[in-house]
């Protein structure tokens, strides 16, 4: 109440000064309102001593702040704009008005007033930072970058601006500029947490995963935190380094043994390493403190199914269903019946899973698989077509599923038609373009297949299979070799221990004439995929190119034994004969 009386007193005092001032100058009444804010704001004209009325400006400023504190934003806006007519250079108003306009969700008007404030006071960093954020939010990244660059010219030690500028550079793919900008911070503080973290993220974005790994590990030793650990588990998981993922989750559990998120993450890492018994043991521990033990039982059931321990899985799932209907339990019971060759029983469970249930899409996939196994192809097609024809139920997955049924029946044209229709309905769906590319390759339309795979990479730059397909295909055709090498290296960085991608890398080097590099990569590929005939064939070609005829013939013989296709066997025999 005391504050309210003080404010009223100030308002009355200002009014008295204002009226006295106006009477002395024999001026007209208070100025009219400016152009409404719905139209672009009209910047105040340059002020002169004669045109500047400080008491008038301060009166309206007080009026505006009082209205704003009472959330009467339109009234406050009107008062602030009147204050600027009284004194166009009123800094305190120029700062206040854009913030008010943002409260009113008038971003464009706020940005225009901020630009005016900055024009009058170029060293006003706060206004520039706010304007840069508005530019970023509205997608004007170039403008935001220019603002940050200008701030750094006269405030090079502003670390916040430097970090934001580095981030924006990375968003535009200007990784070297981003790295250079942020590294300045490390010259002053080599252990700067935020600088190192930004550099690690930059390295991930640019595909330099080894540098990212080094930086992440350094940051972890400097300042351990759960958020950092979770970010690192995602990074190493993407690179399939599951042992490190396991260790990171374990570091959280050491501090918080009942952290369910970390515990389940560790279970997932164990399963990806095929350490099923350890995963089951961890799940038993989690169940003891979990707030949702049924979910833990469902996960345990999946592991039991994976290890072919169907009886234990079945007992858990039946127990779950006895308490409450569960589409996840139904689906896994269907899987068990399918694995035990009880297909009709599996279908009975699957048909009880309805649209909207969590496992509905999976149930459709398994139903079509079972119906195809039972040679009930028309029934499988009808099941999926019914979903595709219903706009409220169709999903991109169903187009891939139906196309797959047709392709398995060697009806490539029908599969082609379905995928094309799916792409028309879902023009940004990565998997549809990928499956379409594979089908085009199967149809012998390689140029179109390449175009489809390029679309996949455009939509998802880290799509490993598409990167590998393009790199290998270009190498096979002995074209775009530099780009092929770039794509394959990116795929390898994402999946470093994949024998098929290493084979592609070796084949690119072979086409480029770098035979020693090719041999090294292919020998590594063979240690990972020793039963792949194509890798043996490529190894033979490299041995032959380096004059090692005996090794070449041996590689071709191994490939010939592994190939099931008669034409490929004949091709290998021809290579052996030619080597003599």
Q: How far apart are CA 169 and CA 175, in angstroms?
A: 6
Give mean pLDDT, residues 567-571: 94
Same domain (yes/no): 72, 111: yes
Tokens of 22: 């106006």
The reported pLDDT for the residue numbered 242 is 95
The pLDDT score that the predictor gives to residue 252 is: 97
Same domain, 401 and 453: yes
**Same-domain check for residues 400 and 345:** no
Question: Domain range for residue 358?
Answer: 305-375
Among 426, 441, 460, the domain-final residue is 460
Q: Tokens for 500, please give them.
A: 């098929």
Over residues 196-251, the pLDDT tens digits come to 998 998 888 888 888 999 999 999 999 999 999 999 999 999 888 999 999 999 99
pTM of the predicted model over 0.75: no
User: Does 231 fall in a domain?
Assistant: no
Question: Of 347, 375, 403, which marks where a domain is finished?
Answer: 375
Residue 170, pLDDT above cutoff 90: no
Residues 15 and 112 in one domain: yes
Task: Band the pLDDT of 499: cuts 50, 70, 90.
Answer: very high
pLDDT of residue 20 exceeding 80:
no
Window from 45-49, 234-238, 280-284 with minimum mean pLDDT: 45-49
Instruction: Note the pLDDT of residue 274.
Output: 94
Q: What is the mean pLDDT of residues 91-117?
A: 81
CA distance 113 to 98: 6
What average pLDDT score do residues 43-59 get? 63
What CATH number has the domain bearing residue 101? 1.25.40.10
Distance CA 25, CA 259 (A): 74
Average pLDDT over residues 528-533: 95
Structure token pair of residue 568: 């490929």
Are 244 and 270 in contact by the 8 Å Cβ rule? The answer is: no
Domain assignment present for 270: no
Asked whether 93 and 83 are in contact (CB, 8 A), the reply is yes
- Is residue 526 in a domain? no
Q: How many CB atoms lie within 10 A of CB 570?
A: 12
Closest CA to 425 of 436, 439, 409, 438: 436
Q: Does 113 lie in the same domain as 21?
A: yes
Mapped onto helix, strand or coil, the DSSP state of residue 419 is: helix
404 and 357: one domain? Answer: no
89 falls within a domain: yes
In a domain? residue 78 = yes
The pLDDT of residue 455: 97
Looking at the structure, tell me whether residues 336 and 444 fall in a common domain: no
Distance of CA 86 to the CA centre of its chain: 51
The DSSP symbol for 40 reads P
Say how far apart CA 203 and CA 190 lie, in whole Å.
Answer: 17
Task: Write down which residue in 76, 96, 121 finishes a domain.
Answer: 121
Q: What is the pLDDT of residue 447?
A: 96
- Percent of the chain at pLDDT above 90? 62
| Same domain? 364 vs 401 | no
| Domain membership flag for residue 99 | yes
Assign 67 a pLDDT band (cuts: 50, 70, 90): confident
**pLDDT number for residue 5:** 43
Within 13 Å, how many C-alpha atoms sit on residue 235's CB side? 26
| 8 shares its domain with 82 | yes
Tokens read off for 425: 């309905």
* Residue 41 confidence (pLDDT) above 60: no
Read off the pLDDT of residues 402-411 as tens digits, 9 standing for 90 and up. Answer: 999 999 999 9
The chain-wide mean pLDDT, for the chain, equals 87
* 47 — pLDDT class (breaks 50, 70, 90): very low
Q: What distance lies between CA 351 and its chain's CA centroid?
A: 35
The DSSP 8-state label assigned to residue 90 in this structure reads: -
Q: CA nearest 491: which of 515, 465, 511?
A: 465
10 Å CB burial of residue 342 (0-12, 13-18, 19+) is middle
**pLDDT at residue number 51:** 54
Assigned domain for 533 exists? no
Number of folded domains in the chain? 3
User: Rounded to whole angstroms, how far apart are CA atoms 310 and 483?
Assistant: 48
Q: Give the phi and the psi of residue 309 in degrees, each rounded to 5.
A: -95, 70
Angle between helices 464-476 and 430-442 (to 10 degrees): 30
Regarding whether 405 and 323 lie in a shared domain, the answer is no
Q: What is the pLDDT of residue 13?
A: 40
Does residue 26 sit within a domain?
yes
For every residue of 513-546, DSSP letters joined together read: T-HHHHHHHHHHHHHH-TT-HHHHHHHHHHHHHT
Q: Are 101 and 41 part of one and the same domain? A: yes
User: pLDDT band at 28, cuts 50/70/90?
Assistant: very low
Window from 54-58, 73-77, 279-283, 485-489 with minimum mean pLDDT: 54-58
pLDDT value at residue 57: 81
Assess whether 406 and 447 both reside in one domain: yes
In the structure, what pLDDT confidence band is assigned to residue 81 with cuts at 50, 70 and 90? Answer: confident
Over 70: is that where the pLDDT of 424 sits? yes
- The torsion angle over the Cα atoms of residues 560, 563, 565 and 571, rounded to 10 degrees, is -30
Q: With pLDDT > 70 as the criterion, what percentage of the chain qualifies?
A: 91
């Amino acid at each position: 109440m005391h504050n309210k009386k003080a404010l009223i007193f100030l308002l009355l005092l200002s009014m008295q000064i204002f009226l006295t001032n106006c009477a002395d100058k024999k001026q007209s009444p208070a100025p009219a309102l400016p152009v409404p804010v719905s139209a672009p704001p009209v910047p105040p004209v340059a002020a002169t001593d004669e045109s500047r009325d400080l008491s008038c400006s301060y009166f309206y400023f007080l009026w505006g702040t009082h209205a704003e504190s009472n959330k009467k934003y339109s009234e406050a806006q009107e008062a602030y704009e009147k204050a600027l007519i009284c004194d166009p250079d009123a800094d305190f108003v120029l700062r206040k008005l854009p913030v008010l306009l943002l409260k009113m969700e008038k971003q464009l008007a706020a940005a225009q007033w901020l630009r005016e404030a900055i024009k009058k006071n170029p060293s006003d960093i706060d206004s520039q930072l706010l304007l840069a954020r508005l530019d970023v939010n509205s997608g004007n990244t170039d403008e935001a970058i220019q603002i940050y660059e200008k701030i750094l010219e006269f405030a090079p030690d502003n670390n916040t601006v430097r970090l934001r500028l580095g981030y924006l550079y990375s968003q535009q793919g200007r990784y070297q500029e981003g790295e250079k900008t942020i590294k300045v911070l490390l010259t002053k503080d080599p252990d700067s947490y935020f600088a190192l973290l930004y550099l690690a993220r930059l390295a991930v974005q640019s595909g330099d995963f080894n540098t990212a790994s080094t930086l992440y590990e350094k940051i972890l030793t400097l300042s351990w935190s759960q958020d950092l650990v979770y970010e690192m588990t995602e990074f190493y998981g993407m690179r399939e380094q599951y042992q490190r993922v396991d260790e990171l989750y374990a570091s959280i559990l050491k501090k918080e043994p009942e952290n369910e998120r970390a515990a389940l993450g560790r279970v997932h890492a164990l399963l990806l390493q095929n350490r099923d018994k350890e995963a089951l043991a961890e799940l038993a521990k989690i169940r003891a403190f979990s707030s949702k033990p049924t979910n833990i039982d469902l996960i345990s059931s999946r592991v039991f199914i994976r290890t072919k321990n169907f009886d234990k899985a079945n007992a858990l799932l039946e127990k779950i269903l006895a308490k409450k209907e569960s589409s996840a339990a139904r689906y896994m019971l269907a899987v068990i019946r399918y694995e035990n060759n009880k297909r009709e029983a599996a279908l009975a469970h699957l048909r009880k899973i309805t649209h909207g249930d969590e496992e509905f899409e999976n149930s459709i996939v398994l139903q079509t698989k079972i119906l195809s196994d039972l040679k009930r192809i028309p029934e499988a097609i009808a099941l999926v077509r019914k979903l595709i024809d219903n706009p409220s139920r169709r999903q991109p997955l169903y187009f891939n599923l139906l196309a797959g049924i047709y392709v398995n029946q060697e009806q490539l044209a029908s599969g082609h038609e379905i995928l094309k229709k799916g792409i028309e309905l879902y023009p940004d769906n990565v998997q549809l373009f990928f499956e379409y590319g594979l089908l085009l390759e199967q149809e012998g339309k390689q140029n179109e297949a390449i175009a489809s795979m390029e679309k996949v990479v455009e939509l998802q730059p880290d799509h490993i299979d598409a990167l590998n397909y393009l790199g290998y295909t270009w190498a096979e055709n002995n074209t775009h070799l530099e780009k092929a090498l770039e794509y394959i290296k990116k795929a390898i960085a994402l999946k470093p221990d994949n024998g098929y991608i290493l084979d592609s890398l070796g084949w690119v080097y072979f086409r480029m004439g770098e035979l020693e590099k090719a041999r090294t990569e292919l020998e590594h590929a063979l240690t990972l995929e020793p039963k792949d005939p194509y890798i043996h064939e490529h190894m033979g070609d490299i041995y032959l190119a380096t004059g090692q005829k005996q090794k070449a013939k041996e590689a071709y013989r191994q490939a010939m034994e592994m190939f099931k296709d008669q034409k490929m066997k004949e091709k290998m025999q021809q290579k052996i004969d030619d080597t003599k």
